[in-house]
Amino acid sequence: MGRKYFGTDGVRGKVGDFPITPEFMLKLGWAAGRVLSHGTHGGRVVVGKDTRISGYMFESALEAGLSAAGLDIRLLGPMPTPAIAYLTRTLRASAGIVISASHNPYEDNGIKFFSAAGTKLPDEVESAIEEELDRAMTMVPSAHLGKAERVVDAAGRYIEFCKSTFPNTLSLSGLRIVVDCANGATYHVAPNVFRELGADVVAIGALPDGLNINVDCGSTQPALLQRTVLEQQADLGIALDGDGDRVVMVDQGGEVVDGDELLFIIAGERHRRGMLPGVVGTVMSNLGMEHALNAVGIAFERARVGDRYVLERMSELGWPLGGESSGHIICRDCTTTGDGIVSALQVLSAVASTGRSLAELKAGMRKYPQTMINVPLARPFDVAASVSIQEAVQAAESTFAGRGRVLLRPSGTEPLVRVMAEGEDTVLVERVAAELAEAVREAIVRAD
């Protein structure tokens, strides 16, 4: 389906470049309000944001547009994306709006929506909003304009929710934890969650100034967390991203524990309790995780890259757990969307219940070496339709003999094909990736 504005996760771009402008956000608020109210007066929308400076501007623009469409607005202020999904449900709102560009720098921003159920908006609703955006903006009668109100206890509500997902028979007492909030939306929430559950918390990346979100900190840049864990002699570290929907962790020795390893640990804990039929990952999930899960009797399925597709596959299978290597983990038995704090708590429940360290828990999974090579494209090229490329893929898979895999994936944002190989042997993985990338280059040249 062709879209003018919405991508796979809302509308996103550089601030000041269309459509990330105040004028567009005004119209987007109005268009969303029209669709969500079904053209009649009534309903409310909750609006939250991360800590980037442009959020103030876009919050005001959206508020004006929603009011013009006749919807009341509940302003949450800086709040994690998953908190907005949760509060959309508990405040019985028609929808939730998040002003955030997640792990991107402060120069970017974006808008994404949650349905009344706290899930991503269905495609047909996003399409309806795009149709309204092409119409002239009108306004409801003055008596029907929406009112705006700030929810002053939003952070406290969400903190209590997060704590409720941690077993009440367990405690984090005795654990020294470093929490990196990426100078983002979790700065006033995450440290309190872990502290109130008993942990000795050292907070870093918790002084946002509107410009430092994700700068040399957070889940995409964990080096600061690694150093701090070692300096503080902490038991582990937790790194969230700018809007709080992703998490990676660091063990006592300063080693990063990525999304695949965290997913394996959470799966293992649920499996021990007899609560897990299977796990959904993506085509990029490490083969080592799949083998480790299968070895203990846990089924594994792969979806397309993107939390939307992971969640769709989880819903189809009726499975409660899924996620991506990036640390975007969905615990559907706890909440409706990826939640970095909740996911970290599921890992910590395994630590607390078993008495084992993070390093010991991840040792049950061996990550396989993975090599990625990007092959540029001068023009559109259908990899799947190339006979020579498919023959090269078959040859590569034969070389691995079941002990590795290859993947060709056209980039959704750049003119290139990503060639990935992974397996048990690093040298073999690098050789297979190089040979397959060369086969793709030759096929592209012959097609020109």
The residues carrying an active-site annotation are: 102
Three-state DSSP at 183 gives coil
**Residue in 322, 314, 340, 312 with CA at minimum distance from that of residue 260:** 322
**Nearest 5°: phi and psi at 7?**
-100, -155
Question: End-to-end alpha-carbon separation of the chain, Å?
Answer: 28
| Cβ atoms < 10 Å from Cβ of 215 | 16
d(CA 12, CA 97): 13
CA distance linking residue 220 with residue 264, whole number of Å? 20
Q: Among candidates 159, 251, 241, 236, which has minimal Cα distance to 196?
A: 159
Q: How many Cβ atoms sit within 10 Å of the Cβ of residue 385?
A: 10
Give the Cα separation of 272 and 290 in Å (integer): 17
Q: Where are the alpha helices (DSSP H) in 79-169?
A: 81-90, 123-133, 154-164
SS (H, E, C) 226-243: HHHHHHCCCCEEEEECCC
Taking alpha carbons only, the member of 7, 196, 264 closest to residue 111 is: 7
Sign of torsion over alpha carbons 121, 124, 127, 131: negative
Give CA angle at 263 (160, 248), nearest 5°. Answer: 70
DSSP-derived pairing of the beta strands 256-257 and 247-250:
antiparallel
The whole-angstrom separation of Cα 404 and Cα 423 is 4
Amino acid identity at 265: I
Q: Where are the beta strands (DSSP E) in 20-141?
A: 44-49, 72-78, 95-99, 108-115
Tell me the residue type at 17: D
Q: Write the burial class of residue 148 (CB in 10 Å: 0-12 exposed, 13-18 middle, 19+ buried).
A: middle
Crossing angle, helix 154-164 and helix 81-90, to 10 degrees? 90
